[in-house]
Structure formats: C-alpha cells, structure tokens
Amino acid sequence: QIRDLERQGRGLGRPSRRFAFSLLLWRWRRKSSTRSGRSPAPAVTEAVARSGPGPWAPCAARVMRTEAEAAGPTLEPGDFVQLPVPIIQQLYHWDCGLACSRMVLRYLGQLDDGEFESALQELRLTRSIWTIDLAYLMRHFGVRHRFCTQTLGVDKGYKNQSFYRKHFDTEETRVNQLFAQAKACKVLVEKCTVSMQDIQAHLAQGHVAIVLVNSGLLHCDLCSSPVKYCCFAPSSHRCFCRTPDYQGHFIVLRGYNRATECIFYNNPAYADRMCSTSISNFEEARTSYGTDEDILFVYLDS
C-alpha cells in the first residue's frame, strides 16, 4: 500500500503526501482500536484534521466518514453505566429487600454475614420488610443514604390491597414510628419526586439504589426464555407474576444505556443474571400504586 501511494503521489505536492501518510496511519489505528474495543471516531477526526487540502481529501474523508458510521454511534461519558454489583438471591418469598441490602453492602465492601444477622436481630426485622427498614439497616452499617418517598408513613389506602392486608394492622404503628424517629436516628428520609435524570446522575457517579417496584409490571428484556423464577419469589414458591394485583418487590439498580433507553438491575429472584428493561417499563413499575415511588439511594463513599 505504501509503494502504491508513493507511485501515485510522486506528482503531488507535500500536503497530499502528508495526507497519504495520515490515511495509512488512520487505517492502522482503526484496526488497533477495533481489536481493543475502543471507538475509532477519535482517529477519524485526527486523520481528517491532519490531511488538510489536496485532491484526495474529499474522497478519502467521505470513505472515512462512511466507515466510522458503519462502526455505530459513539457514546459520550455518562451515556453507558454498568456497575459491578454482585448478585445475591433471596431465600424466601419475603426477603427480597434483605437480599438487595446484602448486594449493596457487598458492593461497598461492608458485608459480613455474622454482622448482618446481628443487625437484623437488633433492628427486630421480621418477615414484613418495608423500605424504611432498609434505610435503618443502611444507617446501622454507617452507609450514607437518602430515602425518597411520596408518603411519610403508611398510606391507609393500602389496607384494602391484598399485598398489604395480612400485616397491615400490626405493621402500621411500627412503620409510622420508624418514620417519626428517623431524624433522631440519623436516617435521611425525604418526601419528594425523583426523576429518571436524577437516578441516572446517581448511577453515573458509581452509586447504586434499591427501588420498590410492582413486580407484576416489571418485564426483563434479557430473560427471553420462559421465566423459571417468579420476579417476586424463588421457584419453590407460588409465582405471583400473573396476578393483576400489586406485588411489591425490591431490586437493585446498577446502570443504564441512554442510546437504547434501558436500565440495568439485579433482581434477587435470580442468582445467575443481570436484568434489563426499558426506561418506560421501569418507570411504570416503580410508580405503580402501592410503591409510594420508594427509592433508597446508597452512596459509594460511605
């Protein structure tokens, strides 16, 4: 190729010769960047900038532009985030929130099984786990957090919901007390609305979040095979996914892709996969009646 270009470039001026060299350099760099998984776009820009004017420039620039477009769009920093949050499966139909807490603590490097069990006993956590319980759990381990919700306490309207009905009378007083004592216990709770942009900005900094969703509305795009586990309970329990009623379930957010408009998350119902869904589906599941739009932001610098 070099000899070929030399023969063709003998009658050309210096700018064109410089461009011929730039074109070869760009092709070599593009092959190297493709092998390493990096985008060739910076090399394209550099080659065009160095080429300057000359009889080959329009044609070659068009070729480089076509090859760059074929390689796909380049993502800016913050357009794609996928955090290495470990996956821990829930053991029972009621402990998805605890499994999510284990994932987060392990991601932060703070999980000790013995200490975790002691914390559950100290906080008197039973089979009825609310988002405020998880906030107290994070505070117990000294983890910086921020619990955002639409209701500071228990919404009395949930009493008629089948999901809440069984434990509502016994849990209402306990949960309301936790909300009332939150400030004194240094548990940060805010009544506010959280946007998708807020969530993405949080994840882009390496932080994670535990979100309460309606599992009946959440659909993973990566689980193409028939669901072996319910998104609310492990396979050994009855699957609630097909019921039209609200079914509360906790998941851990671990990233997103702005180009494909999807969100990545860990579902504690599974032990072997990361899940992904469209942002629109995620928004539908997390804002469903019954969730109070609960989201527990957890910070890496804890």
Mean pLDDT of 184-204: 96
Task: Note whether 19 and 60 are within 8 A (CB).
Answer: yes
| CA dihedral for 194, 87, 220, 259, sign (positive or negative) | positive
pLDDT value at 51 more than 90: no
- The contacts of residue 234 (CB under 8 Å, 6+ apart) are 89, 90, 91, 92, 93, 269
State the chain's mean pLDDT as an integer. 77
Single-letter code of the amino acid located at 81:
V
At residue 58, the pLDDT reads: 41
Residues 170-185 pLDDT 10s: 788 899 999 999 999 9
**Is the pTM here over 0.75, yes or no?**
no
Mean pLDDT computed over 161-176: 74
* pLDDT tens sequence across 4-22: 545 555 554 554 555 555 5
Interval 277-283 mean pLDDT: 97
The rounded distance, in Å, linking the Cα atoms of 194 and 103 is: 22
Domains and CATH numbers, the chain: 80-230+244-298 (3.90.70.10)
3-state secondary structure of 253: strand
Confirm if 31 and 52 have CB atoms less than 8 A apart. Answer: no
- The DSSP line for 238-276 is ---TT-SS--EEEEEEEEEETTTTEEEEE-TT-SS--EE
